[in-house]
Amino acid sequence: MKRIGRREFIKITGRSLTLLLLGKSTMLPIPPPDAKASILGKDKKEIADGLDTVADSRNQFAMVKDVGACIGCRRCMWGCKKENNTPDVVSPPWIEVFELPIGTSVTTHPPLRDLRKGATTSYTESPKEGKWYLPVQCNHCDNPPCVKVCPTGATYKDKDGLVLMNYDKCIGCRICIVACPYSARRFNWLEFKLPSEEVNPLVPVRYLGVVEKCTFCVHRVREGKLPRCVEVCPVRARHFGNLKDPKGEIPKLLKANMSFRLLEDTNTYPNIWYITRGKKWVKE
């Protein structure tokens, strides 16, 4: 057998590769963009949050929740579930409401002793005396840990401050769930079927194996409407608006009230503030 030297080997390989590439480019028709997309399995419409909307960088959406007024009725939770096509198997839905004994702190992880006093999410009656109610959802943080760790950019921070999902990029690795200090993210653990008459056509229906979470009702707020949870709140404990608008409701509320945010030591700069303006507990 003839020995082939290293140089010769490289030369031959190079030549054959060039030939192969040339041959390929001349012989095979280059597929049009659509055909390319269908090869990648993308012939269907993309499934993502806020598809037909445009983010405006003059907005920074924020929410103020008045825990002094909240009666823990969970209407926000169910309103959200219906609005956003959340199936029963995603449980709890995007909003979770806690019933907490008075004195339980949520600006950091509550100490064990406070937890044992009876913090719960599974209460059946509300409001109860001596308890307060804390609705929690995605905080659309300014420094979102979930976005940083996402390997595919499936979750991203948009120009108007919303943290959104592109479900078709999501590989379901769930590291965002691990990174989120607020446990605001949900995973599609099980198959489900939504009855088609109940589906809100403005919101994409997610599928098995991807992560989802509150979008601040991106399909509504970018059209100038309020998120569903704000709309359904019977005691006006929820306020929504643009943080960058100095005359807006949110900056005014924050100016007039003492506020706190959840788990502030995690350095996430949440866009949901909590105030205690409502006085439902004060008995004259």
Partner 1 sequence: MTEDLLRPVMRTEKIYYLLGALVLVLFSLYIYTFYLQLARGHGFVTGQSTPVGAVWGIYAAIIVFFIGISHVGIGVSAATRLLNLDYLKPLARIAELLTLFCLPGAVLVIALDIGTPERFILNVMRYGRITAPFVWSATVISVYLFASIIYLYLSMRRDLSLAADLVPRWGRLYKLLALGYTDTHEERELHERTLWWLALVLIPIMVSVHSVYGFVFGLHGGRPGWFNPFMAPFFVLGAIINGFATLIVVVTIIRKVYKWEQFLSLQAIRNLGRFLCWMTLIYIYFSVSEYITYAYTPLAGEAYVIQTVLVGEFSIIFWPAMAALIIGFLILFLNQTVFSGQFNIWITVAGATLINIVLFVTRYLIVIPSQLRPLLPFPSGTYTPTLYEWGAFLGVTGFVFGAYIVFLKIFPVIEFPLIDEVEAKK
Binding site for partner 1 (CB under 8 A): 1, 3-4, 40-41, 89, 92, 96, 98, 100, 104, 106, 108-112, 114-115, 119-122, 136, 145, 148-154, 169-175, 177-191, 208-211, 262-263, 266-268
Amino acid at position 151, single letter: P
Nearer to partner 1, 172 or 246 (CB): 172
Q: How far is the CB of 250 from partner 1 (least distance, A)?
A: 23
Nearer to partner 1, 182 or 242 (CB): 182
Q: What is the 3-state secondary structure (H, E, C) of 137-168?
A: CCCCCCCCHHHHHCCCCCEEECCCCCEEEECC
Q: How far is the CB of 123 from partner 1 (least distance, A)?
A: 11
Phi, psi (rounded to 5 degrees) for 156: -150, 160
Q: How far is the CB of 229 from partner 1 (least distance, A)?
A: 17
Q: How far is the CB of 107 from partner 1 (least distance, A)?
A: 11
Nearer to partner 1, 61 or 132 (CB): 132
Q: What distance separates the 2 farthest-apart alpha carbons in the chain?
A: 104
Nearer to partner 1, 23 or 103 (CB): 103
Nearer to partner 1, 69 or 136 (CB): 136
Q: How far is the CB of 251 from partner 1 (least distance, A)?
A: 26
Q: Which of 107, 263, 259 is nearest to 180 (CA)?
A: 263
Q: How far is the CB of 262 from partner 1 (least distance, A)?
A: 7
Nearer to partner 1, 27 or 112 (CB): 112
Please give the Cα distance from 252 to 274 (Å, whole number): 14
Please give the Cα distance from 182 to 62 (Å, whole number): 16
